[in-house]
Amino acid sequence: MEAGNHADQRMLRLKQCLGEIPGELRALRVPGRVNLIGEHTDYNNCPVFPMAVNREVLALFCARQDRIIRVRDTQPDYGSIEFPVETQIAPDKAGSWGNYFKAGIQEMILSAESLPSDIGALRGFDMAIDSTIPPAAGMSSSSALVVLASLAFLAVNNAAPATRSGRLALAELCARGERYTGTQGGGMDQAAILLGRAGHAMKIDFNPLRSREAPLPQAHVIVVAHSTVSAPKTQSMMDAYNRRSIECRLAAALVAAHARRERGIEGIEYIGDLTAQKTGLSETEVETLVQAAVSSQPYRLADLAAGLGVSEHEVQQRWCLRRNGSVFPEPDDGFLIHKRLSHVYREWHRVERSVEALESGDIGLFGTLMNESHASCRDLHQVSCRELDLLTDISRRAGAGGARLTGAGFGGCTVNLVPRESLDGYLDEVGRRYYRDQMGLDEWEDYLFVVEASDGAGPAELPAGV
Are 395 and 435 found together in one domain?
Answer: yes
How, if at all, do strands 125-131 and 68-73 pair?
parallel
Give the range of the structural domain holding residue 57, as residue numbers without chain letter. Answer: 4-215+453-459
Q: Which residues pair with 51 in a beta bridge?
A: 34
Characterise 367 by phi-psi region: left (phi > 0), alpha (psi -120 to 50), beta (else): alpha
Tell whether 359 and 406 lie within a shared domain. yes
Q: Which of 295, 312, 336 is the last residue of a domain?
A: 336
Q: Alpha-carbon distance 107 to 111, whole Å?
A: 6
Residue 226 domain flag: no
DSSP state at residue 370: H
> Cα(454)–Cα(311) distance, rounded to whole angstroms?
49
Indicate if 431 and 350 belong to the same structural domain.
yes
Percent of the chain with pLDDT over 90: 81
Confidence of residue 184 (pLDDT cuts 50, 70, 90): low
The per-residue pLDDT for 4 is 61
How far, in Å, CA of 401 to CA of 423, rounded?
Answer: 12
On whether residue 64 sits in a domain, the answer given is yes
User: Across the chain, what does the average pLDDT equal?
Assistant: 93
Q: Find the CATH number of the domain harbouring 271.
A: 1.20.1440.340
Q: Could you list the active site residues?
A: 189
pLDDT of residue 2: 52
Q: Is the domain of 53 the same as that of 66? A: yes
pLDDT of residue 185: 64
pLDDT at 1 over 50: no
375 is a domain residue: yes
Look at residues 318, 336, 354 and tell me which one is the last residue of a structural domain. 336
Q: Are residues 329 and 352 in the same domain?
A: no
Would you say 104 and 153 are in contact if contact means Cβ atoms under 8 Å apart? yes
Q: Are residues 51 and 64 part of one domain?
A: yes
Residue 141 CA to residue 178 CA, distance in Å, equals 12
331 and 350 assigned to the same domain:
no
Residue 137's CATH number: 3.30.230.10
CB count within 10 Å of CB 49 equals 27
**Res. 443 pLDDT band, cuts 50 70 90:** very high
Q: Are residues 114 and 23 in the same domain?
A: yes
Q: Is the Cβ–Cβ distance between 153 and 105 less than 8 Å?
A: yes
CA 181 to chain centre: 14
Enumerate long-range contacts of 298-304, CB under 8 Å, 24 or more apart.
298/333, 298/334, 298/335, 298/336, 298/337, 299/250, 299/334, 299/335, 299/336, 299/337, 300/330, 300/334, 300/335, 301/330, 304/250, 304/254, 304/335
Same structural domain for residues 332 and 345? no
Best CA proximity match to 21, nearest among 321, 466, 345? 466
Mean of the pLDDT values across residues 422-432? 98
Residue 297's CB is within 10 A of a number of other CB atoms, namely 11
The residue from 307, 336, 365 where one domain ends is 336
pLDDT at 8: 84
pLDDT greater than 90 at residue 466: no
Q: Could you tell me where the DSSP H helices lie in 178-234?
A: 188-195
Confidence of residue 94 (pLDDT cuts 50, 70, 90): confident
pLDDT of residue 96: 86
- The answer as to whether 229 is a domain residue is no
pLDDT tens for 334-345 read 999 999 999 999
The enclosing domain of 414 has a CATH number of 3.30.70.890
Q: Listing from the earlier edge strand, what are the strands of the sheet with 220-226?
A: 402-406, 413-419, 220-226, 448-451
Q: 353-398 pLDDT, tens per residue?
A: 999 999 999 999 999 999 999 999 999 999 999 999 999 999 999 9
Helix, strand, coil fractions of the chain, as percent rounded to 5? 45, 20, 35
DSSP-H helix ranges across 231-336: 235-263, 276-279, 283-293, 301-308, 312-319
Residue 411: which of 374, 380, 384 has the closest Cα?
384
pLDDT of 303-329, one tens digit each?
A: 999 999 999 999 999 999 987 789 999
Residue 221 maps to a domain: no
Same domain, 356 and 317: no
Model pLDDT, residue 323: 73
- pLDDT tens for each residue of 230-254: 876 555 678 888 899 999 999 999 9
Query: Is residue 141 one of the residues assigned to a domain?
Result: yes
pLDDT category at 3 given cuts 50, 70, 90 is low
Query: pLDDT tens, 215-225?
Result: 999 999 999 99
What does the radius of gyration of the chain's CA atoms come to, in whole angstroms? 22
Helix (H, G, I), strand (E, B) or coil at 87: coil
Percent of the chain with pLDDT over 70: 97
> Does residue 228 belong to any structural domain of this protein?
no
pLDDT at position 442 over 80: yes
255 vs 307: CA distance, rounded Å: 10
Residue range 125-151: mean pLDDT, rounded: 92
Q: Where are the beta strands (DSSP E) in 132-268?
A: 200-205, 210-215, 220-226
Cα→Cα distances 68→22, 58, 121, 155, 238, Å: 15, 21, 12, 15, 30
* Together in a domain, 424 and 444: yes
Report the C-alpha dihedral over residues 39, 44, 48, 51, rounded to 10 degrees.
Answer: 80
Residue 15 has pLDDT above 90, yes or no: yes
Number of structural domains the chain divides into: 3
Residue 38 lies in a domain: yes
Residues 309, 178 within the same domain? no
Which residues, 6+ apart, have CB-to-CB distance to 144 below 8 Å?
30, 31, 32, 56, 57, 131, 133, 193, 457
